[in-house]
Amino acid sequence: MPRPTIEDLRSLILTFEDMKKDRRYPIHSASPGCPDGGETIRENWVSSQFSNTEGPTKAYALGCEFVVMDDDTRQVGHIMLLDFDGKVVFDELIRPRGQIKTVLAKHNSQTPIRFIEHSWFSLKDIQDRLFKIVSAEDIIIGHTVYKDLQALEWKHPKIVDTVKIFSYIHPQESPSLDFLTLYFLGSEYVDKISRFSGPVVDARAVLDLTKFEIKCWNL
């Protein structure tokens, strides 16, 4: 069976119409099918830029760990990117704006609040660092990735979302990442990745679920 490739991802990229219908995704001016004036306009939000040098398209799985602030809003406290081979290429804490109440942890362990509070990097710093790795030619893979992009105040044109890939599982509601991981990848896989902590768990799960879907095409 052929190994999944980045080229296989192209048919899974959300179009302007997909995102417009959903109404939650930040839309980049270069999103597939985006008309003039179709871009999401938000003050101080950033947009991925096209590279000045030619090179192959890359793909990154995105995982974010959120914190709840004193005013009950949510911000990203920890962000991670894996490349298509599963290697960690970006792993940073983000110093939030305001006072943290708690860290939202889905898994067995979480990043301590004190580590996040004393991060050297603001959201603006993280945006600048992301753009040294990710260009507008690249593909971002995530689960309900609009939540991550909204919190990061980031518009990116090429988005693959596992909640859309597997929408046929629960047509009337969004399947959770935990459910999809257990359903398609099995309990042994869940036990294996549960040994990790933080956003790497979600990033690895969305990457492996996407590759699983691609492999199913080739059966």
> What is the number of domains present in the chain?
1
Contacts of 65 (CB under 8 A, 6+ apart): 76, 77, 78, 79, 103, 104, 105, 110, 111, 198, 199
| Spatial distance between the Cα atoms of 108 and 12, rounded to a whole number of angstroms | 31
Does any domain span residue 170? yes
Does any domain span residue 72? yes
Residue 203 in contact with residue 81, Cβ under 8 Å? yes
Contacts of 167 (CB under 8 A, 6+ apart): 174, 175
Q: What is the pLDDT of residue 52?
A: 81
CATH code for the domain in which residue 46 is found: 3.30.420.10
Owning domain of residue 48: 6-217
Q: What is the pLDDT of residue 1?
A: 65
Q: What is the pLDDT of residue 110?
A: 66
Does any domain span residue 1? no
Residue with tokens 């298509």: 84
Q: What is the pLDDT of residue 116?
A: 83
Return averaged pLDDT per consecutive 10 residues of the chain, 219 residues in all. 89 96 95 96 94 88 93 93 97 91 70 80 96 96 97 97 91 86 94 82 96 87
Does any domain span residue 43? yes
pTM: predicted TM-score of the whole model, two decimal places? 0.93
